[in-house]
Chain A
């Protein structure tokens, strides 16, 4: 709210003055002072004043009918479906779940660099890498040998780790050919065995899964179902 470059109060200032809405005393005094010496602005104000008066005189439109609701309508409306009654709750829940999911992802992302939960995972990977690096020979020999149960379990797991971490496919290809039918499950169990401290990670995964499920359900109940019902009603 200021004066224009040629010294007159601008529209906003005049509009505020019109309804006595200039809170700042010195600004009001400046406008009054200007109006006292400026017929143009006095005319301007008078026109705005008349317009405002005419607006308040505009006849109210006749109601086409009364909008009161009948008892039947009210009763029927009051019995609305449960998901509509709890729609605000589901909306809030979906927002909370979305935020939580983002937080969980952030924790997951930041994990290798230093969050407390990540330490175990990082250590497990660090531990796994040197083992694979220094034991290609023994791994190569493992399938040829009489397959002692312990090494048979461990070798595919280690090769998996190697493929994932150090990215040397030759080692993996060399180690993998042992045609074990249960190779993949064995690798899974071995991985769990190899990193006993990884329970923190799987907890995080579980939390992500649960939060995502809650988010989907909340979104369905808060938005999709009411929208579908509304479309159906029409």
Chain B
């Protein structure tokens, strides 16, 4: 995850413990995007997510002595995840509105394959993505957070197990059930089904280079 030649997490943690308070902000800057994205997908409320993320970083800072090594980002995400679950549990219902990413704040880091030539495909993919986002909101919390951590944020099974406090086997089964559920949700909706099949056909009919994005 360390893209730049920045100091590793462990060095920053050691620096914070030694009294270098500003080093903590290095960790905040490194992970705030991931933490916020995961929490937002879990609670689906911007203001709530903002509070939870703020709280999670404060907690992480005060509880840094409890960090016993290993993956710092998993430890951090665990704090945020637990906080988000607390908040979810204390709220009876939550808004089901899908997240609409405001227009063009699509982060370039996420555009893994921008090599989609056809305008139809581009529009259809974007449409399908929105529908998928809405379907994601319908998953049970445990499946959703597992799918988000794995397929959106790219965490390893081991890290997800540490974050959500379950076994590797549970992570795998939540992941497969979550993906299967997403697929059946899309197939259940006529328009989504057509889009899904259309995009797939397009991928198959089009150049094979586009198909080999797996």
Contacts and interface: CB of A to CB of B under 8 A. Distances in A.
Nearest to B66: A88
Contact of A51 (B62, B110, B177, B186): B186
A51 B183 contact: yes
B167 interface: no
A62 to B, nearest CB: 4
Contacts of B36: 61, 63-64, 67
A102 interface: no
Contacts of B173: 12
Nearest to B147: A55
Interface residues on A, range: 35 or more
B182 interface: yes
Q: Which of A43, A58, A62, A75 has the most chain B CB within a 10 Å cutoff?
A: A58
The 9 closest A-B CB pairs, nearest first, are A15-B176, A59-B106, A11-B180, A60-B107, A74-B21, A55-B151, A12-B176, A68-B25, A62-B105
Nearest to A12: B176
B25 to A, nearest CB: 4
Nearest to B22: A71
A16 to B, nearest CB: 7
Q: Which of B54, B105, B214 has the most chain A CB within a 10 Å cutoff?
A: B214
Nearest to B178: A15
A84 interface: yes
B32 interface: yes
A58 B21 CA distance: 34
Interface of A: 11-12, 14-16, 18, 21, 43-44, 46-69, 71, 73-75, 77-78, 80, 84-85, 88
A73 to B, nearest CB: 8
B72 interface: no
A42 B24 CA distance: 48
B29 interface: yes
Given A52-B214, A53-B213, A59-B106, 20 more contacts: A11-B180, A14-B176, A15-B176, A46-B200, A47-B186, A47-B196, A49-B214, A53-B214, A56-B112, A57-B110, A58-B110, A58-B133, A58-B152, A59-B101, A60-B37, A63-B36, A67-B36, A67-B54, A71-B21, A80-B62
18 contacts: A11-B179, A16-B172, A44-B183, A46-B200, A47-B187, A47-B200, A48-B183, A50-B196, A54-B125, A55-B136, A60-B106, A61-B36, A66-B29, A68-B28, A69-B24, A77-B61, A78-B62, A88-B66
A42 to B, nearest CB: 10
Contacts of A51: 132, 179, 182-183, 186
A54 B57 contact: no
Contact of B101 (A61, A64, A65, A67): A61
Nearest to B46: A64
Contacts, number: 137
Contacts of A47: 183, 186-187, 196, 200
Interface in B128-147: 128-129, 132-133, 136, 147
Interface residues on B, range: 35 or more
B101 A62 contact: yes
B189 interface: no
Contacts of B54: 67
A66 B61 contact: no
B15 interface: no
B109 interface: yes
Contacts of A77: 58, 61-62
B135 to A, nearest CB: 9
B103 to A, nearest CB: 10
Nearest to B186: A51
Contacts of B113: 53, 57
B16 to A, nearest CB: 9
B90 to A, nearest CB: 14
